């Protein structure tokens, strides 16, 4: 009977062959001795072990990256990747944390990650499983890097390999992020333009309009059948999934929507023709046109027939025109009947389900319907005078109510600053006659609908209780928004959140980071980022790698161009651009000042749109305190004065 060890040895030998080593082969070494030689099965086992080790290291790096991003949420992921590459060992996570706490400015260098609505609304397909970091920001495997480099080299044959390597190093080896940058660089190269012209000349017009390089159009029904898009195999599963998600999936979704629309319109026309042949059309009592039963509705009072086209026109005119009061019934929140009748007109309304069907049939109808519902709800809340907590980024709002039992709320005088409390009490005693006269006037002149003094103090106490016992973090529950904001400053919430943070400082950091990224270059060999302050365009990294600052092409040994032969050698008496060749200039680079200016302007525009400060002036000198600004602008109300007194005198 065989032992368990013999059974395992036999199973490995028959199934895999990797561990099948019945004997060790011997070969003669140079020194004349004998040495064991590795079999192919042993090599496969070693390669498998190395691959598993690399996968474990990659998973550990990404786990450390996610942990650092959680601890320091306002720092860009690029900083963490650089530090994880610099520090090594089992305790590098603790070392990086200490370095960031003690020398944050030295490592960050203006690369701050500001909160934005786009980051909060990242799709689940762009995120790694079980992680809050997008795949483009994580460490990439070696197989993905090789596959991305191979695909880019095949597409951009007119660019040097060193240029592609430099762009890959700048963009974290992401194929999706590198391709637009390489397209811009390739558009400046004469060699790339010639290659693209020849490629376009060889292909037919239909092939040239197919789009992406990694897409191919094949027919599953022979040469005469319809063609369908599919992605080329890149050699890496992760890159194949990225190509499908970013390129193929949107094409398939757009094609399905287009096919559905065409089929629906065709079915609608066929149905209308058949209904007309048998005399089954109905006349709209608004536009007096004939339509089918499926494209018509009736009001709730007189049973008047209204077609869907008239309903869509009425909704659009109410939302984007000046017919809101005419077309919308405020009491019922529905569209009025559009049939012209004698007298005061029909008092009926069109059912909500019919209006929704009519509006959503058109392109962009879902957004129009949501806007109609939001406006009707807003009108109802205004009429009911219900206190609301609005979302600063969308029309969503919630009922503002903080219920605390009377036994749990205890008010008292503030004792933290006794002298200030005493002075404020003296001022309140001086205001007692004024309050008595105001109360008497309110009781006598009831037609003016003035607020009583008790109402002011009740509102102030409610606001004080809310500030003390309610969280300042507000999470929007709208499916199209979902942004967390602060109830105090109405800004996007990000941990750790600081209310009324200087908008000027935030804007300055954003512009500085964008200007730095516009002129920064990254070494493709060691991954070090650097900026040219002065000198020629031949840059040498600390690792010895030499590259051109303009086109990012490598200039070292074994590269396609020499060191100084890469640059223009022609004499120009008047300076300017060479008219003989189109090589890079040794000293005259690209318009660096213009690139920095454009990057700063774009960053400022995006910041203003993200922070909701488009058109706001005076950010150069900083924002003033909210209360002080209202005082100087004369916007204080009596309720604000009472709130100030109550906040200083009362504690709860």
Q: Tokens for 112?
A: 């701050």
- Tokens describing residue 25: 């082969």
Q: Say how far residue 223 (Cα) sits from the centre of its chain.
A: 42
Per the DSSP assignment, residues forming a β-bridge with 75 are 112
Which residue(s) pair with 336 in the sheet?
A: 349
| Residue 643: partners with Cβ closer than 8 Å, 6 or more residues away | 459, 460, 463, 464
In angstroms, rounded to a whole number, what is the distance separating the alpha carbons of residues 520 and 533?
11
Bridge partners, residue 298, by sequence: 305
- β-partners of residue 474 are 485
For the record, the structure tokens of 525 come out as 């060999």
- Helix or strand or coil: residue 475? strand
Q: How far apart are CA 498 and CA 494, in angstroms?
A: 9
| Residue 242 maps to a domain | no
Q: Is residue 248 part of a domain?
A: no
- At 499, list the tokens: 């209310």
Q: What local confidence, expressed as pLDDT, does residue 624 receive?
A: 38
Provide the domain limits for residue 50: 42-113
Q: Could you give the number of structural domains in the chain?
A: 3
| φ and ψ of 306, to 5 deg | -125, 125
Confirm whether 240 is domain-assigned.
no
In a domain, 562, yes or no: yes
pLDDT, residue 31, reads: 43
DSSP string, 162-211: HHHHHHHHHTTT-HHHHHHHHHHHHHH-HHHHHHHHHHHHHS-HHHHTT-
| Residue 652 falls inside a structural domain | no
Residue 229 DSSP symbol: E
The pLDDT, as a whole number, for residue 609 is 78
Does a structural domain hold residue 261?
A: no
Q: Cα dist. 558→163, 184, 561 in Å?
A: 14, 26, 8
The CA distance from 192 to 179, in Å, is 14
Q: Which two tokens stand for residue 201?
A: 């000349």
Q: Token pair of 208, please?
A: 């040239």
d(CA 351, CA 304): 12
Closest CA relative to residue 78, chosen from 106, 111, 100, 103: 111
What per-residue confidence (pLDDT) applies to 357?
92
Show which of 65, 87, 113 is a domain's final residue.
113
Residues of the chain predicted below pLDDT 70 = 1-52, 114-131, 189-211, 342-343, 401-410, 439, 442-453, 466-471, 495-502, 504, 557-562, 589-590, 613-638, 652
Last residue of a domain, one of 350, 385, 420: 385
Nearest-10 Cα torsion for 346, 352, 355, 359: 150
Q: How far is it, in rounded angstroms, from Cα 551 to Cα 561?
A: 12
Nearest to 402 by CA among 466, 324, 338: 466
Residues 6+ apart with CB under 8 A from 326: 318, 336
Q: Are 164 and 182 in contact (CB under 8 A)?
A: yes
Q: What is the pLDDT of residue 221?
A: 73
Question: Residue 15 corresponds to which tokens in the numbers above?
Answer: 């199934």
Number of H helices and E strands in the chain, helices first, is: 24, 21
| Domain assignment of residue 366, yes or no | yes
Q: What b/e string do you get for 146-177 counting C-beta neighbours within 10 Å, with b at 16 or more?
A: ebbbebbeebbebbbbbbbbbbbbbbbbbbbe
Phi, psi angles (nearest 5°) of residue 633: -90, 0
Contact indicator for 307, 289 with CB cutoff of 8 Å = yes
SS3 content of the chain, % helix, strand, coil (to 5): 50, 10, 40
Long-range contacts of 426-431 (CB under 8 A, 24+ apart): 427/645, 428/645, 428/649
Measured over the CA atoms of residue 45, residue 48, residue 54 and residue 55, the dihedral's sign is negative
290: in domain: yes
* Residue that has been written with the tokens 């003035």 in this structure: 450
Q: Cis before residue 262, ω within 30 degrees of 0?
A: no
Domain final residue pick, 385, 409, 442: 385
Here the tokens at position 539 are 């840059």
Q: What is the pLDDT of residue 401?
A: 61
Tell me the DSSP string of 27-70.
EE-TTS-EEE---HHHHHHHHHHHHHHHHHHHHHHHHHHHHHHH
- Write a three-state SS string for 108-164: HCCCECCCCHHHHCCCHHHECCCCCCEHHHCCCCHHHHHHHHHHHHHHCCCCCHHHH
pTM of the model: 0.53
CA–CA–CA angle 649, 650, 652 (5° rounding): 160
């Amino acid at each position: 009977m065989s032992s368990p060890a013999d059974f395992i040895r036999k199973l490995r030998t028959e199934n895999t062959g990797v561990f099948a080593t019945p004997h060790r082969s011997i070969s003669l070494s140079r020194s004349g001795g004998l040495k064991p030689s590795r079999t192919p099965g042993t090599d496969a086992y070693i390669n498998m072990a190395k691959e598993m080790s690399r996968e474990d290291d990659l998973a550990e790096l990404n786990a450390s990256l996610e942990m650092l991003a959680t601890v320091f949420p306002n720092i860009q992921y690029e900083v963490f990747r650089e530090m994880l590459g610099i520090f090594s060992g089992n305790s590098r996570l603790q070392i990086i944390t200490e370095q960031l706490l003690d020398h944050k400015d030295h490592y960050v260098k203006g690369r701050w990650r500001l909160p934005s609505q786009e980051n909060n609304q990242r799709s689940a397909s762009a995120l790694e499983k079980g992680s809050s970091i997008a795949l483009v920001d994580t460490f990439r495997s070696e197989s993905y890097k090789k596959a991305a480099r191979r695909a880019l080299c095949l597409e951009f044959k007119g660019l040097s390999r060193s240029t592609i390597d430099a762009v890959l190093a700048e963009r974290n080896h992401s194929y999706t992020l590198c391709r637009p940058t390489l397209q811009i660089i390739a558009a400046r190269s004469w060699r790339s333009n010639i290659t693209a012209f020849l490629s376009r000349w060889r292909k037919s017009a239909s092939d040239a309009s197919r789009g992406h390089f990694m897409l191919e159009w094949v027919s599953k029904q022979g040469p005469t059948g319809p063609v369908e898009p599919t992605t080329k195999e890149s050699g890496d599963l992760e890159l194949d999934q990225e190509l499908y998600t970013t390129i193929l999936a949107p094409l398939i979704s757009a094609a399905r929507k287009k096919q559905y629309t065409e089929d629906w319109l065709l079915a609608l026309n066929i149905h209308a023709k058949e209904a007309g042949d048998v005399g089954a059309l109905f006349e709209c009592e608004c536009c007096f046109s004939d339509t089918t039963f499926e494209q018509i509705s009736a009001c709730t009072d007189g049973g008047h027939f209204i077609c869907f086209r008239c309903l869509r026109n009425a909704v659009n005119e109410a939302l984007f025109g000046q017919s809101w009061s005419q077309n919308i019934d405020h009491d019922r929140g529905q569209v009025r009947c559009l049939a012209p009748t004698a007298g005061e007109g029909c008092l009926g309304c069109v059912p909500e389900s019919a209006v929704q069907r009519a509006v959503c049939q058109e392109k962009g109808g879902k957004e129009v319907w949501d806007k109609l519902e939001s406006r009707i709800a807003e009108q109802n809340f205004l009429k009911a005078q219900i206190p609301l907590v609005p979302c600063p980024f969308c029309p969503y709002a919630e009922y503002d109510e903080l219920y605390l039992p009377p036994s749990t709320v205890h008010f008292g005088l503030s004792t933290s600053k006794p002298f200030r409390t005493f002075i404020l009490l003296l001022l309140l005693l001086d205001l007692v006659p004024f309050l008595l006269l105001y109360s008497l006037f309110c009781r006598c002149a009831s037609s003016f609908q003035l607020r009583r003094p008790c109402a002011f103090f009740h509102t102030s106490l409610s606001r004080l209780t809310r500030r003390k016992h309610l969280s300042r973090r507000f999470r929007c529950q709208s499916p199209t928004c979902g942004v967390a904001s602060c109830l105090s400053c109405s800004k996007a919430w990000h941990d750790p959140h600081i209310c009324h943070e200087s908008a000027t400082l935030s804007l300055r950091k954003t512009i500085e980071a964008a200007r730095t990224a516009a002129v920064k270059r990254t070494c493709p060999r060691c991954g070090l980022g650097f900026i040219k302050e002065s000198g020629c365009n031949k840059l040498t990294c600390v690792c010895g790698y030499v590259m051109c600052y303009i086109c990012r092409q490598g200039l070292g040994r074994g590269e396609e161009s020499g060191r100084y032969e890469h640059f223009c050698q022609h004499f120009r008496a008047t300076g300017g651009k060479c008219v003989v060749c189109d090589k890079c200039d040794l000293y005259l680079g690209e318009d660096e000042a213009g690139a920095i200016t454009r990057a700063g302007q774009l960053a400022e525009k995006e910041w203003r749109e993200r922070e909701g400060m488009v058109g706001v002036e005076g950010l150069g000198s900083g924002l003033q305190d909210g209360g002080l600004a209202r005082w100087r602008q004369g916007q204080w109300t009596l309720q604000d004065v009472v709130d100030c007194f109550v906040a200083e005198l009362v504690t709860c």
